[in-house]
Amino acid sequence: MLCLGFTPLLALVLGASLGVAFPQDALKKSCSLSKYQFPVPHELKAVQKMKVHFEAIMHQSNRRCNTRLFHRKWNPAELSVHDRMMLVEAELDLATTMLGLSAAPKFAETRQQPLAFLTQAREDLRGCLAMEAPSHQPSGKLRHWLQKLQVAKDTETTSCLEASTILHLFQVLNDLRCTALREQCT
């Protein structure tokens, strides 16, 4: 009987000791975006195929847009690592939202793989932001761009936002790569 009472007490003491020896933060998964430094070729080919398909659709529709959301006077490498993470999270959020819109069946099939890839990248990035910079405040450059993004979301047509986003997906992927490279991005 004494042995049964001693075992739970021993387990409690050992558990508490291990909790002190290995703090919760040490047990959490580390943030790694390294797989986005050099995305696998089939992901890039899927994005390229989708972009070409979309350009053909857009050309047939004679859509005219003046969205200049992705035209910036600065390079993401000029931002801090945390600012880059926030930038790319916003870009990926826009991209996944635009790719998630209903579309013609043929285009819906073409965008499936890029949408899955970009959604996974966004979720990985969000995990890193939550772990590394939960209360980071954006710099002036980034804050200005985020405001520009919000204005575009409020004033541009959905079709123009979609066009601008899809046509600039490789810029988003380059920004993701720069973010994954962290301090090595120049």
Residue 8 within any structural domain of the chain = no
Residue 71 within any structural domain of the chain = yes
Residue 7 within any structural domain of the chain = no
Given a contact cutoff of 8 angstroms between Cβ atoms, the answer to whether 134 and 80 are in contact is: no
Residue 88 within any structural domain of the chain = yes
**Residue of 28, 14, 15, 12 whose CA lies nearest to 130:** 28
Cβ neighbours around 158 below 10 Å, total: 11
Domain that includes residue 83, residue range:
31-184
Instruction: Give me 74's structure tokens.
Output: 């600065």
Residue 5 within any structural domain of the chain = no
Residue 132 within any structural domain of the chain = yes
How many structural domains is the chain composed of? Answer: 1
**Residue of 72, 102, 65, 83 whose CA lies nearest to 178:** 83
Report the CATH number that the domain containing residue 87 is assigned in CATH. Answer: 1.20.1250.60
pLDDT of residue 68: 86
Largest CA distance in the chain: 84
pLDDT 10s digits, 48-104:
999 999 988 887 776 677 788 899 999 999 999 999 999 999 999 999 999 998 777
Backbone angles phi, psi at 14, to 5 degrees: -65, -40
Distance CA 146, CA 155 (A): 14
pLDDT of residue 2: 44
Residue 122 within any structural domain of the chain = yes
Residue 32 has pLDDT above 50, yes or no: yes
pLDDT of residue 5: 52
Confidence of residue 132 (pLDDT cuts 50, 70, 90): confident
| Distance between first and last Cα of the chain | 67
Residue 19 within any structural domain of the chain = no
pLDDT of residue 29: 56
Secondary structure letter of residue 123 according to DSSP: H
What is the chain's length?
Answer: 186
**Residue of 46, 151, 33, 41 whose CA lies nearest to 84:** 33
